[in-house]
Amino acid sequence: MTDTRAVLGVGMVGYAFMGRVHSQAWRSVGAFFDLPAKPVMAALSGRSADRTAAAAESLGWAAVETDWKRLIARDDVQIVDICTPGDSHAEIAIAALEAGKHVICEKPLANTVTEAEAMVTVAERAAARGVRSMVAFNYRRVPAVALARRFVEEGRLGELRHVRAQYLQDWIVDPEFPLVWRLQKDKAGSGALGDIGSHIVDTAQYVTGQLLTGVSAITETFVKERPLAEESAGLSAGGGQGTGAVTVDDAALFIGRLSGGGLASFEATRFASGRKNAMRIEINGSLGSLSFDFEAMNELWFHDHTLPAEDSGFRRILVTESGHPYAGAWWPPGHGLGYEHTFTHEVKDFVEAIGAGTDPAPSFADGLRVQRVLAAVEESAANDSRWTPVS
């Protein structure tokens, strides 16, 4: 049967860690979801011609550009997917939107509130012309996290009183790990705070449907000098000669208050020995509680506090049933999903929004809300943990 759907050519900027998982998403999405348009992996952009060409061949991209401006100018590119360090997000996204290209941009949206505000302004103008944009907080697309949001929306937790959110990793515990770009403020904006803390801020606001209104924070850099990296292409870059200063935080802890009056605590660290990707959230309400840990990503734990004490307690929900968010498109019940599926769900929702002519979520405005929380955390930590409103 002839495929009569419109083609959406995708141009991606960056091909390291995020570039690989985004490529996997674009390759697989059409095989599992009935989309209103057909995404085609048109072109990949990177600075090195040889490395970009090798990545394009490995990941399935049809063409190569060594200048992202030429990628945006291509007639066969309708979507620009930004997988670069944060210092280039604003420039690339603004140029792409002004050129009439739909944009999906990795998190955090930018390195500063000012950059994020500029991106939102351009995105809103573009949306009036039918050009869509989205920030890529992939954990919203974990079926268990989406189910948690559904439980909150249905009122099954009642009045939300306390949120605990953690993102625990250990990938830079070794002081000999090199000074990659994620450890340099001019490229990354911040450290654990922006890299993984932004995820738990967005997840908390998404699941609860509320915003953080103020924070009190403390941050720390445990290893202040690291071996210079030969390149800053990703997590596994090799070592170079000499050492350089780590200019971002290694860990950030903060408390906050939700717009509904509830309390919240957040912990983001890359120094939790033995924790690989423990993105966790627990929400306690007047009628029940729920708990999620990404290291067991197909499970959601739920406590119904309306049951008699003799019958109550947390129960495990295996989130693989066809009626659960996203899960029905994949395997039979009990056959779990993985990290990469969250990105497939992400681009599926993005393409569907483009086809429907609606604004996808999380929007650039949602990304700006997270950016304002990150800025308030940094301001509080720099001022002896002083309570700092989120603008």
Q: What is the CATH number of the domain that holds 97?
A: 3.40.50.720
**Residues 221, 357: one domain?**
yes
* Tokens standing for residue 235: 């997590």
**Residues 106, 155: one domain?**
no
Domain containing 95 equals 6-138
Q: What angle do CA 148, 341, 102 make, to 5 degrees?
A: 95
**Residues 252, 321: one domain?**
yes
- The answer to whether the CB of 269 falls within 8 A of the CB of 168 is yes
Specify the pTM. Answer: 0.95
Q: Helix axis angle, 113-127 relative to 89-98, nearest 10°?
A: 10
Which residues are bridge partners to 162 per DSSP?
263, 284
**Residues 111, 69: one domain?**
yes
pLDDT in tens, the chain (391 residues): 778 899 999 999 999 999 999 999 999 999 999 999 999 999 999 999 999 999 999 999 999 999 999 999 999 999 999 999 999 999 999 999 999 999 999 999 999 999 999 999 999 999 999 999 999 999 999 999 999 999 999 999 999 999 999 999 999 999 999 999 999 999 999 999 999 999 999 999 999 999 999 999 999 999 999 999 875 434 444 445 799 999 999 999 999 999 999 999 999 999 999 999 999 999 999 999 999 999 999 999 999 999 999 999 999 999 999 999 999 999 999 999 999 999 999 999 999 999 999 999 999 999 999 999 999 999 999 999 999 999 8
Boundary-marking domain end, from 94, 113, 138: 138
* Tokens standing for residue 175: 């002081």
Report the distance separating Cα 373 and Cα 26, nearest Å. Answer: 31
What type of residue is 10? V
- The answer to whether the CB of 130 falls within 8 A of the CB of 355 is no
Q: Helix axis angle, 143-153 relative to 198-208, nearest 10°?
A: 40
**Residues 202, 85: one domain?**
no
CATH number at residue 165: 3.30.360.10
